[in-house]
C-alpha cells in the first residue's frame, strides 16, 4: 500500500445519500486514479487525474464526481445518482514508468 | 476498448508446483503489466514487460510476451501457500488509461 491511504475502510450508505471516499498520497506523483471492483471482476476506471485541478471521466463515471484541489488528495463522491454503488473502490497513483500503486481500498455497501 | 483476458479463471495447485496464467489482449500495446491482489486488499504491482521485450524475470516470477499472438504468460515457480491470490494482467489503454482483465484466482494448497 505504501504511501497511499484510503478511508474509511468500510462505508455504509443509505438510499439517496451522497458519500465521499478519501484518497491521500505522499508519494509526490501527479497521476491518480479511481477504480471500481465488483466481486470476482477486474477493475473498471471511474475517473483519473493527471495534474492538480484537472481530471477526466473514465469508463463508468456516471453517478460519481471527483475533485483535485491538491496534489496529495483525490476524493471520490458517490452520488445518489449511482444506482448500484455497492462495490470495492480502489485508488491508485501512476508512476512515470506506467506502474500503478494502489491504496488498501474502501468497501461501500448500500443499506 | 482493448482488454486483457486471463485464462484460466481459476487454478488450484499443490504447494511446490508451478502455476501458469495466460493473458490475451486485442490491440497493439506499449507494455503489459501483471498485478496480484490478496482478498480484500489493493493490487500489488508485480512486473512490467515492454512490447520490445520477450521475457522478464523477477524472483520466482517469469513473464513472457508474444506480440504476434497478442498474449502473455505469468509463471510462478515453486508456488507457496502465500501465493494464493488473484492475478491480473493490465495493458495500456491509450492516453493515460490502464485496462485490467478479470483476473485468475490462484489457490495454492499447503
Q: Is the peptide bond before B8 cis (omega within 30 degrees of 0)?
A: yes
Residue of chain B nearest A57, judged by CA positions: B97
Query: Please, what sign has the CA dihedral across residues B78, B88, B81, B47?
Result: positive
The residue of A1, A42, A68 whose CB has the most chain B CBs within 10 angstroms, and thus the best one to mutate to test that interface, is A42
**In which residue ranges of chain A is pLDDT below 50?**
1
pLDDT in tens, A82-108: 889 999 999 999 998 889 999 999 999
- Distance from the Cα of A63 to chain B's closest Cα (Å) equals 20
Under the banding of pLDDT at 50, 70 and 90, the label for residue B92 is: confident
Question: In Å, how far from its chain's centre is CA B9?
Answer: 12
Distance from CA of A101 to the nearest CA of B (A): 7
**pLDDT score, position B6:** 87
Question: In this structure, what C-alpha cell is assigned to residue B27?
Answer: 490491440
Polymer length in residues for chain B: 110
pLDDT more than 70, % of chain B = 97
Q: How many CB pairs under 8 A join A and B?
A: 59
Nearest-by-Cβ selection for A41 from B90, B92, B102: B102
* Alpha carbon distance A47, A66 (integer Å): 7
DSSP B15: T
Tell whether A2 is within 8 A of chain B (Cβ). no
Q: Name the percent of chain B lying above pLDDT 90.
A: 84
Could you read off the pLDDT of B28-81 as tens digits, one per residue?
899 999 999 999 999 999 999 999 999 999 999 999 999 999 999 999 999 999
pLDDT at B1 over 70: no
Closest CA to B20 of B57, B62, B54: B62
Split at pLDDT 50, 70, 90, the class of B2 is very low
**What grid cell was written down for A52?**
492538480
Strands B61-66 and B71-76: antiparallel
Q: In the prediction, which pLDDT does B97 show?
A: 87
Above 60 in pLDDT, residue B5?
Answer: yes
Amino acid at each position: 500500500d505504501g504511501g497511499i491511504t484510503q478511508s474509511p475502510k468500510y462505508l455504509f450508505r443509505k438510499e439517496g445519500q451522497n458519500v465521499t471516499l478519501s484518497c491521500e498520497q505522499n508519494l509526490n506523483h501527479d497521476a491518480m486514479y479511481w477504480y471500481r471492483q465488483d466481486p470476482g471482476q477486474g477493475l473498471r476506471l471511474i475517473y483519473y487525474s493527471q495534474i492538480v485541478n484537472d481530471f477526466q471521466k473514465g469508463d463508468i463515471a456516471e453517478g460519481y464526481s471527483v475533485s483535485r484541489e491538491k496534489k496529495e488528495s483525490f476524493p471520490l463522491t458517490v452520488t445518489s445518482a449511482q444506482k448500484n454503488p455497492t462495490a470495492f473502490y480502489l485508488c491508485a497513483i501512476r508512476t512515470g514508468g506506467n506502474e500503478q500503486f494502489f491504496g488498501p481500498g474502501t468497501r461501500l455497501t448500500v443499506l | 476498448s482493448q482488454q486483457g483476458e486471463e485464462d484460466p479463471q481459476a487454478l488450484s495447485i499443490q504447494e511446490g508446483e508451478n502455476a501458469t496464467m495466460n493473458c490475451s489482449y486485442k490491440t497493439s500495446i506499449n507494455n503489459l503489466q501483471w498485478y496480484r491482489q490478496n482478498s480484500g486488499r489493493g493490487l500489488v504491482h508485480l512486473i512490467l514487460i515492454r512490447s520490445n521485450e520477450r521475457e522478464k524475470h523477477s524472483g520466482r516470477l517469469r513473464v513472457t510476451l508474444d506480440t504476434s499472438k497478442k498474449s502473455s504468460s505469468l509463471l510462478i515457480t515453486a508456488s507457496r501457500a502465500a501465493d494464493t491470490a488473484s492475478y491480473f494482467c493490465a495493458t495500456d489503454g491509450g492516453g493515460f488509461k490502464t485496462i485490467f482483465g478479470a483476473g485468475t484466482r490462484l489457490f495454492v494448497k499447503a
